[in-house]
Amino acid sequence: MPINYILSDQEWAFIAEKAKKRNDIKTVSSSKKFDGGKSSLNIHTYGMAAEYSFSQLTNLPYNFNATRCGDDGYDFKTSNQLTIEIRYRYQRNRDFALNTDRLEDFKADIGVLFWPGDKEKSFEMVGWTSKVAFAFMCERHFLKGWRLLIPWQKLRKPEELLEQIEKWKLAESS
């Protein structure tokens, strides 16, 4: 069952400000677009909003710092050093997809899919996959270039990941 996070007006304004800074500083790499009609600033804003939503759902720290080259292939690192990449799709019922057809471009240990929720400024955590599961289950499709993807229906339930993150936190604190 998908899990939603609704941003407050203050959270949205804060994220929009940080996204503008990130967009302005990124000179080395640009975001690959699934929707050519979206600006780089729009991509950064919604992507950061999904990442922020994940941080609020998991209580994992979120780093808003802007870098010229983007992240290292992940958005979060758990206490046990597992890396997590958030993928945001602008439309519902879209799949968890890489921007290429190269498996080595899935750099994180875990990938999480978000898309728009059913309310304004809401972000829905749809599901997740591990890097290993992705390698076994991914399909190659032509979507504005060749891409590897897992249909969203085949992703693991988001509550499973949230429960696992809580277990990791408890193990660390004991």
Q: What is the pLDDT of residue 173?
A: 73
Q: What is the pLDDT of residues 74-132, one digit of tens each?
A: 889 888 889 999 999 999 999 999 989 999 999 999 999 999 999 999 999 999 999 99
This prediction has a pTM of 0.89
Domain with 112 in it = 3-167
pLDDT of residue 26: 64
Residues ≥6 apart with Cβ < 8 Å to 3: 57, 124, 125, 158, 159, 162
Could you write out the DSSP letters of every residue in 24-88?
Answer: HH--S--PPPSSTTS-HHHHHHHHHHHHHHHHHHHT--------TT--SS-SEE-TT--EEEEEE
Domain assignment present for residue 104? The answer is: yes
Question: Is residue 12's pLDDT more than 90?
Answer: yes
Angle, alpha carbons 127-43-134 (nearest 5°)? 30
Q: Which residues pair with 139 in a beta bridge?
A: 149
Domain for residue 138, yes or no? yes
Residue 74: per-residue pLDDT? 87
Q: Does 174 reside within a domain?
A: no
Residue closest to 149 by CA, chosen among 140, 162, 161: 140
Asked whether residue 172 is domain-assigned, the answer is no
**Cα gap 62→60, rounded to integer Å:** 6
Q: Is residue 118 one of the residues assigned to a domain?
A: yes
Render pLDDT for 31-87 as a digit per residue (tens, 0 to 9): 455 555 567 788 889 999 999 999 999 999 887 765 555 567 788 988 888 999 999
pLDDT computed for residue 160 by the predictor: 96
Domain presence at residue 108: yes
Express as a percent the part of the chain with pLDDT over 70.
87
Q: Is residue 22 part of a domain?
A: yes
DSSP codes joined into one string, 107-167: -SSEEEEEEE-SSTTEEEEEEEEEHHHHHHH-EEEESSSEEEEE-GGGSBPHHHHHHHHHH
CA separation for the pair 66, 125 (Å, rounded): 24
- High-pLDDT (> 90) share of the chain, %: 64
Give the number of domains in the chain: 1
In a domain, 173, yes or no: no
* Angle in degrees, CA 100, 58, 156, rounded to 5: 50
Residue 93 tokens read as 């019922």
- pLDDT tier, 168 (very low <50, low <70, confident <90, very high otherwise): confident
